[in-house]
A = this chain, B = another copy of it.
């Protein structure tokens, strides 16, 4: 009977697209961040997928407040609705996972947020993780997000980059904040809690000797995995929308 099961999967496997198609939605309007994400993502997925990164028109430069989040909701929704047939999955590329419940409701394809993906992954790599966020103003919202995901027991701390004064290089900054997190908060894993830190995890990892989770890389991995498993967002209750 297990043989039958594998045979069932074989059928799925044969009919799926050999080349996956991913749409990355950068909820802000920054050309530069969009380009950085796209460059990194293309490199990361190699020839396993086609990846396109879009920014949201009329979005603010940086998603920080509830108003920013609300403002980009319609644009994000349209990004999914008009691309639903063409893409196999969607990645929301902002670490505060803005409008993620909405995206999951709207989409018939899998949707992953880089916040949820990177923080759930961190839980598998060590006992406690610290999230590096851009500013101290974002700490309460990030902590609220962690509580919503029920990951509070494994959170060592949220540490903002602006807590360290007088350093210029962002990589050096991340390194110092990470070391403080290890020494003072008991962190074992670092999560880069901001999309514009994309690509830094590899260098940081070498400096620190600790696992450092990059949101974009983590989110792409999770999303590609969901596509391979033919998984989708459950439409039974929470994300069922209007039936």
Query: Copy number of this protein in the oligomer?
Result: 6
Beyond A12-B202, A126-B236, A211-B232, is A36–B147 a contact (Cβ under 8 Å)? no
Q: Does A73 contact B (CB under 8 A)?
A: yes
| B residues less than 8 Å from A110 (CB atoms) | 125
Interface size on A, residues (CB 8 A): 107
For A123-149 the 0/1 string (1 means CB < 8 A from B) is 111111000000001011101100111
Given contacts A13-B43, A148-B148, A228-B44, contact A125 B242 (CB under 8 A): no
Q: Mark A188-227, 1 if CB is under 8 A from B, else 0.
A: 1100000011111111010001110110011001101110
Listed in ascending order, the chain A residues whose CB lies under 8 Å from chain B are 1-6, 8-13, 32-33, 36, 39-40, 43-44, 46, 48, 64-67, 69-70, 73-74, 77, 99, 101-102, 104-106, 110, 112, 116-117, 120-121, 123-128, 137, 139-141, 143-144, 147-154, 169-171, 182, 186-189, 196-203, 205, 209-211, 213-214, 217-218, 221-222, 224-226, 228-243
